[in-house]
């Protein structure tokens, strides 16, 4: 199969609520949407690069650049016999994982549609429902945070994840445990701390969070292993894991007991599956992270989270939380038991609102093999 035409759309949508982490306060999401076409079939992907390079070095502008300059020219040359071929063809291009994932995921959707199968089945998924949690950004006060947790729990979520930043971590953990004695909650630091902060995490241990996500530097494994030796709360790595090899090394030195998988962060679905498989082989549970995706990215996440080792509730939540404008027709909803149904139609299994995307696009590029 040869890619005949690729279109890239730059779309910016306001979030219903601003989202604050230790790294940034975000009010809008700008995403590169990718439409691939071959032999009458179409596939869609969505980049997760942020407007500013706080989570990773990639932004929508670098995604467009890498796709146009290196990634798409390489793929236009290729004859693809399976979606995994994309990952292989692009292996020589270093970094630019979110850019690679944007088109790689679109090609998976295209292959699944050609096969008439849901993407989850093509990936090896075994679940028809995924486990849902919700991520809550930093709130203006502890009271506001408790109110927000209460409101989100009414939505049925199985666990809440709370963003923390220096000066607020112990207070957030203690107030949450005091207010919700049985709540499954976890904390996400987005790399805001150093090993010198180990005493803070020891103080958090008695509040029994399910895990602490990426407490230390975004590129570190060694200090995380040292911290894990000092604290009881399991460490979960996010930013530090870019590949199956990273996961293997992190597990080997005891830097992580749980892994957050985001296909965009690791270069696409083939790589995400490798991370999943490495973790499964070491009995390390994984869950599906979120990057405040629009509908196409959300759909991809739901299919990925159908793989068997996604044993913990992830950050894939109901569509209604995020944007006033939707780019797919069917909203993702969470049932009372805190699960979400995996679409059963071919590919990502949702109706992409293509006319709307064309109307919303701030930029549109069309590329074909030369």
Name the site residues for Mg ion (rule: CB under 5 A).
188, 213, 238
- Asked whether the beta carbons of 47 and 99 are under 8 A apart, the reply is yes
Shorter beta-carbon distance to Mg ion: residue 74 or 223: 223
- SS3 at position 231: coil
Q: How far is the CB of 323 from Mg ion (least distance, A)?
A: 20
Supply the angle between the helices 169-179 and 142-154 in degrees, to the nearest 10: 50
Which of the following is catalytic: 100, 161, 163, 273?
Answer: 163
Q: Which is nearer to Mg ion, 26 or 238 (CB)?
A: 238
Sheet containing strand 185-188, strands side by side: 134-136, 160-163, 185-188, 212-213, 235-237, 258-261, 286-288
SS (H, E, C) 102-168: HHHHHHHHHHHHHHCCEHHHHHCCCCCEEEECEEECCCCCHHHHHHHHHHHHHCCCCCEEEECCCCC
How many C-beta neighbours within 10 Å does residue 198 have?
A: 18
Nearer CB in complex with Mg ion: 104/238: 238
Least distance (Å) between residue 11 CB and Mg ion: 23
Task: Considering the complex, state which of residue 145 and residue 164 has its C-beta at the smaller distance from Mg ion.
Answer: 164
Residue 132: half-sphere exposure toward Cβ, Cα within 13 Å: 27
Strand-strand pairing, 286-288 and 258-261: parallel
Rounded to a whole number of angstroms, the minimum distance from the CB of residue 289 to Mg ion is 6
Which of helix, strand or coil describes residue 186?
A: strand
Name the residue whose CB lies closest to Mg ion: 238
Q: Is residue 76 helix, strand or coil?
A: helix
Residue of 89, 113, 262, 273 marked active site: 262
Cα 112 off chain centre by? 20
| Nearer CB in complex with Mg ion: 34/237 | 237
Question: In the complex with Mg ion, which residue's Cβ is closer, 179 or 243?
Answer: 243
Rg (CA), the chain: 20
What are the two backbone dihedrals, phi and then psi, of residue 46, each rounded to the nearest 5 degrees? -140, 130
Question: Catalytic annotation on 163?
Answer: yes
Is 89 one of the annotated active-site residues of the chain?
A: no
Residue closer to Mg ion, measured from CB, 218 or 248: 218
DSSP alpha helix (H) spans, the chain: 60-66, 72-77, 84-89, 97-115, 119-123, 142-154, 169-179, 198-204, 222-230, 244-252, 263-266, 269-281, 295-304, 354-360
Least separation in angstroms between residue 211's CB and Mg ion is 11
Least separation in angstroms between residue 315's CB and Mg ion is 8
Q: How far is the CB of 213 from Mg ion (least distance, A)?
A: 5
Distance of CA 148 to the CA centre of its chain: 22
| Helix pair angle (269-281, 244-252), 10° resolution | 20
Which is nearer to Mg ion, 41 or 241 (by Cβ)?
A: 241
Q: How far is the CB of 186 from Mg ion (least distance, A)?
A: 10
State the minimum distance, in angstroms, from the CB of residue 300 to Mg ion.
Answer: 18
48 closest CA partner among 269, 341, 246, 212: 269
Active site residues: 163, 262
């Amino acid at each position: 199969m040869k890619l005949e035409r690729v279109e890239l759309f730059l779309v910016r949508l306001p979030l219903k609520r601003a989202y604050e982490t230790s790294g940034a306060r975000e009010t809008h999401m700008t995403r590169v949407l990718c439409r691939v076409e071959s032999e009458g079939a179409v596939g869609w992907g969505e980049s997760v690069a942020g407007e500013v390079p706080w989570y990773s070095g990639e932004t929508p502008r670098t995604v467009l650049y890498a796709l146009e300059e290196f990634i798409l020219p390489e793929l236009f040359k290729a004859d693809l016999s399976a979606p995994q071929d994309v990952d292989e063809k692009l292996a020589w291009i270093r970094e630019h994982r979110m850019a690679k994932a944007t088109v790689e995921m679109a090609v998976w959707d295209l292959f699944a549609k050609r096969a008439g199968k849901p993407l989850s089945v093509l990936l090896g998924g075994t679940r028809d429902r995924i486990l849902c949690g919700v991520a809550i950004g930093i709130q203006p006060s502890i009271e506001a945070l408790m109110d927000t947790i209460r409101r989100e729990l009414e939505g049925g979520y199985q666990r809440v994840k709370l963003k923390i930043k220096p000066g607020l971590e112990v207070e957030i953990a203690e107030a949450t445990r005091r207010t919700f004695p049985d709540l499954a909650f976890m904390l996400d630091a987005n790399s805001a701390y150093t090993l010198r902060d180990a005493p803070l995490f020891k103080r958090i241990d008695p509040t029994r969070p399910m895990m602490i996500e990426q407490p230390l530097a975004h590129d570190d494994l060694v200090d995380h292993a040292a911290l894990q030796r000092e604290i009881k709360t399991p460490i979960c790595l996010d930013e530090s894991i870019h590949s199956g090899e990273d996961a293997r090394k992190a597990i080997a030195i005891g830097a992580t007991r749980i892994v957050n998988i985001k296909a965009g962060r690791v270069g696409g679905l083939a790589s995400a599956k490798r991370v999943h498989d490495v973790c499964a082989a070491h009995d390390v549970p994984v869950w599906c992270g979120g990057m405040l995706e629009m509908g196409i990215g959300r759909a991809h996440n739901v299919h990925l989270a159908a793989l068997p080792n996604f044993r913990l509730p992830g950050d894939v939540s109901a569509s209604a939380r995020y944007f006033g404008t939707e780019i797919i027709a069917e909203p993702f909803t969470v049932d009372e038991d805190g699960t979400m149904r995996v679409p059963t139609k071919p590919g990502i299994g949702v109706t992409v609102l293509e006319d709307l995307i064309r109307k919303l696009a701030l930029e549109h590029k069309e590329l074909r093999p030369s």
